[in-house]
């Protein structure tokens, strides 16, 4: 389980700005307009269309 958590963090946490929960509360609960997220962008998808698994190869 620790390996999966580390893989998830290494894949997605570099794109977080630490304010996701605040944005959800402001948008969903308070009805405020969404602010643009600045500073980080997601990588372009693989042009081959192959899916990438965070969990690694399937078990035999």
Greater confidence (22 vs 14) lies with 22
CA distance linking residue 20 with residue 60, whole number of Å: 37
Greater confidence (36 vs 4) lies with 4
Mean pLDDT to the nearest integer, 8-13: 81
CA distance linking residue 59 with residue 53, whole number of Å: 13
Whether 59 shows a pLDDT value over 80: the answer reads no
Residue 28: the pLDDT is: 92
Closest CA to 52 of 8, 15, 18: 8
Work out the mean pLDDT of the chain and round it to a whole number: 76
Query: Residues near 52 by Cβ (< 8 Å), separated by ≥ 6?
Result: 46
Residue 52: the pLDDT is: 58
Q: Is 39 helix (H, G, I), strand (E, B) or coil?
A: coil
**Mean pLDDT lowest for which of 19-23, 28-32, 35-39, 53-57?**
53-57
């Amino acid at each position: 389980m620790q390996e999966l958590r580390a893989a998830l963090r290494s894949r997605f946490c570099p794109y977080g700005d630490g304010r996701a929960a605040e944005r959800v509360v402001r948008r969903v609960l308070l009805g405020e307009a969404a602010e643009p997220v600045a500073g980080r962008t997601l990588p372009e998808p693989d042009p081959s269309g192959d899916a990438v698994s965070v969990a690694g190869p399937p078990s035999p």
